[in-house]
Amino acid sequence: MQVPFKDIQNTNLPDQQRIQEDYRRMLEDALAIKRKAIAERLYTPQALEGLPASAVVAALGVGNPVAFTDIHPGDRILDIGCGGGIDSLLAARRVGSGGEVIGVDMTPEMLRLARKNAEAAGLSNLEFVEGVAEDMSFIPDESLDEVISNGVINLTSDKKRVFAEIQRVLRTGGCAVLSDIVVNGKIPPEVLTNPAAWSG
Ligand SMILES: C[S@@+](CC[C@H](N)C(=O)[O-])C[C@H]1O[C@@H](n2cnc3c(N)ncnc32)[C@H](O)[C@@H]1O
């Protein structure tokens, strides 16, 4: 769907520290109970085949951006808010050894797991970097073929900056495929100001 740019707002978000704490806790829970329900709802059994179990249970997204991305061998891809790395791993399989995937996330525990998952999957064409979507200045201008993101941009503090960053790092003709949640209508203030409604 298309969302008018003027409607992209920075609503009453909990601060980044609170979001990190929530995702730390969710990751611990996911690894402890080995719940595969999110991954099984979003990805086909063929896509999940061969992925490390700890990548599958750590899936916390809202869609499957890789399935909608026209990825070619040799492409360079950025996964914003990569979490435990499920989409980065799927993209890395598609770009092959001549391509590269960069996963960026602000939560160190997520990055540690993503690196472990890449190693367990036997993939070396991935790099996981700690950083925020609002400032990815460590990525050169126009250096990427595709950007993907899954369930992250709704959590970012400055959405216009995130979109400006996506535009900056993509080469001319590059493409962004974003799975996320958008608001269509009014949300009651008690929900909007409840941190658990954002990442709980
Ligand atoms: C809903 S999880 C999705 C993780 C992953 N994309 C997936 O599909 O499993 C959101 C992730 O975004 C990260 N995150 C939230 N806000 C961020 C920001 N401003 N910059 C970078 N990462 C962020 C969190 O640390 C968390 O790992």
For 108-145, the pLDDT digits (tens) are 999 999 999 999 999 999 999 999 999 999 999 999 99
**Concatenated DSSP letters of 131-185:** -BTTB-TTSPTT-EEEEEEES-GGG-S-HHHHHHHHHHHEEEEEEEEEE-----S
CA dihedral 108, 138, 165, 141 (to 10 degrees): -150
Q: Is the pLDDT of residue 163 over 80?
A: yes
pTM of the model: 0.92
Q: What CATH fold (topology level) applies to the domain 11-199?
A: Rossmann fold (3.40.50)
How many angstroms does the Cα of residue 24 sit away from the middle of ligand 1?
Answer: 11
Nearest to residue 91, comparing CAs of 123, 115, 135? 123
Beta pairing partners, 76? 100
CA distance 28 to 58: 9
Higher pLDDT, 23 or 100: 100
Q: Is the pLDDT of residue 89 over 90?
A: yes
- Residue 161, CA distances (Å) to 99, 136, 150, 165, 166 in order: 27, 10, 17, 6, 9
How many angstroms does the Cα of residue 149 sit away from the middle of ligand 1?
Answer: 9
The domain ranges of the chain are 11-199
Model pLDDT, residue 73: 98
**Which residue is closest in CA terms to ligand 1's atom 23?**
81
Answer yes or no: is the C-beta of 114 below 6 A from any ligand 1 atom.
no
Asked if residue 101 lies in contact with residue 77, where contact means CB atoms within 8 angstroms, the answer is yes
Best residue among 11, 155, 159, 198 to mutate for probing ligand 1, ranked by most atoms within 8 Å of CB: 155
pLDDT band at 83 (very low <50, low <70, confident <90, very high): very high
